[in-house]
Structure 1
Amino acid sequence: MADQEQPTAAAGPAGEAADEKKSKNAEKKAKKEAEKAAKKAAAKERELAERKKKEDADAADVSADSYGELPLVGSKDFKPTGTQRSNLADIASNEDKEITFRCWVENARVQSAKLAFLNLRQGLNTVQAVVAASEKLSKQMVKFSGSVSTESTLVVTGLVKRVKEEIKSATIKEFEIHITKLFVEVKAEVPLPLQVEDAERPLPSAGLGDEDEKQADDGRPLVGLNTRLDNRTIDLRAKINHAIFIIKSGVCALFQEFLSKRGFTLIHTPKIQGAAGEGGANVFELKYFDRSAYLAQSPQFYKQMLIASRFQKVMEIGPVFRAENSNTARHLTEFVGLDLEMEFQENYHEVMSVLEELMLFIFKELDTRYRAETELVRSAYHVEPFKLPESGKVPRINFAEGIAMLREAGEELGDYDDLTTPQEKHLGKLVLEKYGSDFYTLDQFPLAVRPAYTMPSPTNPNLSNSYDMFMRGQEICSGAQRIHDAALLAKMMREHDPPINPDADGTRDYVNCFRYGCPPHAGGGFGLERIVQFCECCVVDFLLLIQNC
């Protein structure tokens, strides 16, 4: 019986139950795996559907023709669009209208996938622009617009909309542009060597080089003069520099406007001379083919020769060259001179009156016609406004009176000493206290400190019929009655310190022109850069370097 087969453990009712349980577990596992696979497949299908939807949307960019980079102007045949270009200065007259204008980017940022903001500039005007996704404007355009590099040049079309709250980040505060088209005309490379917004700030007060660069209270850099001049085209994009150039242009326009109405003729005198005039000091010598020539120190001789030629009143705006090795804010080797000369009827004070009225006209009209520009400059250089007298009431102080005022205030100086710069500034404060004016005229200067062609005073041989005009104690205009008699002129030239030869090549024709009859005359002149410096209350050398760098 030992060889008889024994029944297995699975046999019987208990084994059958175990097999059934195992089978059910396998079915559940298979079902879960099937469900998991189905969910995974569904998710994959949804992902593919979304991707296809996005691809289809990308392929059907509703703004595809409304943004992008334009080909270089001039590189393709020109086809007029007929689209009128607008000026941001006229934005108020275009409310709720669509305009197209050229501008450049001050700042661009993406706020979200559906919204971007840009600050756009045209001239001195800046405006906020909005690019918002909609059924007619794609997210792709929003992304492109918000990523345009700073300083890139754009052609923008958009709707002018009034805003509920003033926009602080733009000069145009009541309107914004809702962009519908945006094209990059010229893309700016990044990074910029100098940020334009940093050029809007004052120069460091101590030192102008890069080694002196500092930070302002807000942590932004005060960029030194070296960096600015090394990147001058970027530096000149600053609104404050644009304003300075506009003001300089305004001074010239006002100068010519005032004098033209009073019968002055605009002249243009030579700037390359065959011989050095006015004593030959402080002149630049240059090679003129096979001989030497000299840059003109002033148009003085020519102005007087034109008066002798029966021109009653002349004016000039032109370059002046002085070979003075000075490193101050008061002197330049090259500057723009604004000069006038006129005959008078009885007394040289007639010409003084014209010059005083001219200066008052320029100061007051700058504050009226160019207020936006002057306020922009003054926002960086904070100085109190000038106290100007009424027309016809400019304080006139004899040199002797000025000396007396200074002595009374503790200054030590002789009757005929030339005033030092600190003494001039001190006198300016005394005049303001006594007369309530920052602008005044000092008359009857010592003869020894004036040019040889200055008419001596009839009341005192040590004085002269000459005058300077001051703003806050700093000279802004100088002039005098000129000698109009050849014999007296030759005598005064020989007695001058240093002596001037009236028969030399640079002076002979000048002296001889008075031998044929010349009316009494006087004149004056001032440097454009100095006037702009004082008009705008800017007390740094940088403003004086604008023209020459």
Structure 2
Amino acid sequence: MSENNAPPAEKVVPLTEEPKEGGGEKGPSKGALKKAQKEKEKAEKAAARKAAEDAQKKQAEANDVSKNDYGELDPFGRHPGIPSNDKVPRVKLAAVAEQFQDTTHAEENDGPHVVFTATVANSRGQSAKLAFMELEQEYNTIQAVVAASDTLSRQMVKFSTSIPSQSRVVVHAVIKKPKEPVKSTTIQNLEAHIKKLYIVCKADAQLPLQVADAERPIPVEGEEEQKGEDDGRPIVTLNTRLNNRTIDLRARHNQAIFGIKAGVAELFREFLKTHAFKEIQSPALLGAPSEGGANVFEVSYFGGKAYLAQSPQLYKQMLITSNFLRVMEVGPVFRAENSNTARHLTEFTGLDMEMELLDETNYHEVVSLLENLMLYIFNGLRTRYSKETDLVRSIYHVEDFKLPEAGKVPRLTFAEGIAMLKEDGVDVGEMDDLSTPDEKRLGALVLKKYGSDFYVLDKYPLAVRPFYTMPDPATYGQDASNPNAGYSNSYDFFMRGQEIMSGAQRIHQAAFLEKRMREHVSPVDPNNPGLKDYVSAFKAGCNAHAGGGIGLERIVMLWLGLPNVRLASLFPRDPTRLAP
């Protein structure tokens, strides 16, 4: 059948339609028409409501006397209310607090005007006309007041309460004296009455960690996150804090910790520079493992292998052979030790020094210098960083660090230390290296007997020290069957019963060095690729010398009484952590 002669197609009738009277085409049902009419009316009402709201908002904006005095800056720091030539100098809150210690000017109705940038710690509205903000800058916090008036709108008050915590703002304010001291801020005798308020960078409303929760002590090791018993605030574990470290570091006590850490390094340099030490920078990449080859990180190096240095020890000594007779270094140290304790890191900062001995038979001249170095650091922390120290210790409560008088640092031989432990009932071997609990116990005994949290343990057993350690001539060779018997010219320094520094007189004659390398408890080959250049350096002649290596993070941890060394590392590295 041709297309023209095909029967007409059957008309498909929608299910929602009903037949019209007379058998004609079917149209929309009454229910569908009614529903459509309701939807139309609803849409018209919504549009009318939005139009009214837009008109009201537009009218409010037009009547907003403060519309140019608040808002969010664009990425280039611009805002319609800020003239392009407006270059008002910014001030520090610390300088404001110092300048207006005498609050006479702040008591005036139109007190001094200042402009400063700050972090919003919190913001709360008291009413539609009044809001309070806590603004933070480094260690300092100040209360800010946003009060509606003829020149400051309610819209601006509302805006101030909408700013998320941790946002960065720039503030134009009048400094005034509050009616009562503000106990919740560090600057208590002043407050900032805001006149202009701009957001420099807005924080997310929901952060993974609140700074206020980071300003509490970490829970005991292994404790799960839970609600605090006293105030219902969450107890945030160390792992959560480290996973969100950039937020965690905003806590004021963390700022203080790293101010102190920088201070220790500065004091270390200051003291040694006044004693004619030259600062060096030794390589961290090695072509072969050194110091016995254990506990080193292997890395890919142009198709071959390289290794991260465990310490600058060998290079310090090589420089002594090069007539760099007093050297110091502040730099990274890498230890591939699978130690998941509260006092171990796989990367830390070493404070190292090495120096010639003016008298090759008296390595204690170096011990005395190191004692004075540590006393200089401790006293410097007391005088220069008391504010930071007090802030951290207000969170991690610890007794004040007890120091001996200059020249009276307790210096015990290893044998004397063992005797003290045995007398106290500790079962310890005469020539065994001390365990961490034994060290802490000895520290408590020293504190009780000498009244000092700082002491030196001298003359360690030769068998527990590295191959380059000078044996004690009084005991070396007495046991023909055991070349590692007896003691050594080596020493460790302790704070609160924990080791912070290991040092010794080093072997300076090539032939004796090779002998000790071969007969050591863990023998090493002097011709090993990682050691042959080191050994060869002594064949050109070398001064007798000694030195030590100090763990910077440990000093900070033990000075402040921190429960974990990771708190003294900006972005700590341990066997399970390589990020952030």
TM-score by length of 1: 0.87
- 1:72 equivalent in structure 2: 75
Residue number among 410, 419, 434 corresponding to 1:419 in the alignment: 434
Residue number among 85, 88, 91 corresponding to 2:93 in the alignment: 88
Amino acid at match of 1:223: V
Residue number among 481, 492, 498 corresponding to 1:474 in the alignment: 498
Q: Residues of 1 paired with 2:569 and 2:340: CA distance?
A: 12
Residue number among 298, 307, 314 corresponding to 2:320 in the alignment: 307
- 1:340 equivalent in structure 2: 353
Amino acid at match of 2:462: L
Residue number among 208, 211, 220 corresponding to 1:196 in the alignment: 211
Shift of 1:74: 6.4
Asked if structure 1 preserves the Cα contact closer than 8 Å seen for 2:325 and 2:355, the reply is yes
Counterparts in 2 of 1:473 and 1:53: CA distance versus 1, 3 Å: closer
- 2:489 equivalent in structure 1: 465
Asked if structure 2 preserves the Cα contact closer than 8 Å seen for 1:216 and 1:222, the reply is no
Asked if structure 2 preserves the Cα contact closer than 8 Å seen for 1:157 and 1:182, the reply is yes
Residue number among 544, 550, 553 corresponding to 1:520 in the alignment: 544
Asked if structure 1 preserves the Cα contact closer than 8 Å seen for 2:553 and 2:565, the reply is no
CA deviation vs aligned residue, 1:8-42 (integer Å, no higher than 9, x gap): xxxxxxxxxxxxxxxxxxxxxxxxxxxxxxxxxxx
Amino acid at match of 1:314: V
- 2:123 equivalent in structure 1: 108
CA deviation vs aligned residue, 1:248-278 (integer Å, no higher than 9, x gap): 1111111111111111111100000001111
Counterparts in 2 of 1:63 and 1:467: CA distance versus 1, 3 Å: same
Say what the alpha-carbon RMSD is for the aligned residues. Answer: 2.1
- 2:288 equivalent in structure 1: 275
Shift of 1:107: 0.7
- 1:41 equivalent in structure 2: none
Shift of 1:409: 1.4
Residue number among 248, 252, 255 corresponding to 2:261 in the alignment: 248
Q: Select the structure of larger CA radius of gyration.
A: 1
Amino acid at match of 1:522: A
Residue 227, structure 1, aligned to residue 268, structure 2: no
Residue 323, structure 1, aligned to residue 333, structure 2: no
In terms of fraction of residues, the more helix-rich structure is 1
Please, which moves more after superposition, 354-363 or 411-420? 411-420
Aligned residues: 496
Counterparts in 2 of 1:190 and 1:458: CA distance versus 1, 3 Å: same
Residue number among 375, 382, 385 corresponding to 1:360 in the alignment: 375
Q: Residues of 2 paired with 1:278 and 1:311: CA distance?
A: 21
The SS at the match of 1:179 is: strand
Residue 138, structure 1, aligned to residue 153, structure 2: yes
Shift of 1:302: 0.3
- 1:535 equivalent in structure 2: 559
The equivalences for 1:114-513 within 5 A come to 114-207=129-222, 211-346=224-359, 347-461=362-476, 462-513=486-537
Q: Residues of 1 paired with 2:348 and 2:467: CA distance?
A: 23
CA deviation vs aligned residue, 1:51-95 (integer Å, no higher than 9, x gap): x99997752322222111221226899945221000001113155
Shift of 1:163: 2.5
Amino acid at match of 2:96: I
Shift of 1:408: 1.4
Q: Residues of 2 paired with 1:156 and 1:392: CA distance?
A: 52
The SS at the match of 1:278 is: coil
CA deviation vs aligned residue, 1:97-134 (integer Å, no higher than 9, x gap): 11101111111111112211100111121110001122
Amino acid at match of 2:138: G
Shift of 1:414: 2.9
CA deviation vs aligned residue, 1:481-508 (integer Å, no higher than 9, x gap): 0011111111001011210111111111
The SS at the match of 1:280 is: coil
Amino acid at match of 1:228: R
Counterparts in 2 of 1:80 and 1:449: CA distance versus 1, 3 Å: farther
The SS at the match of 1:148 is: coil
The SS at the match of 2:523 is: coil
CA deviation vs aligned residue, 1:384-441 (integer Å, no higher than 9, x gap): 1111101111011111111111121112333212112111111112111221111111
Gaps of 5+ in 2: 1-54, 101-105, 477-485, 573-579
Gaps of 5+ in 1: 1-51
Q: Residues of 1 paired with 2:548 and 2:252: CA distance?
A: 33
Shift of 1:329: 1.9
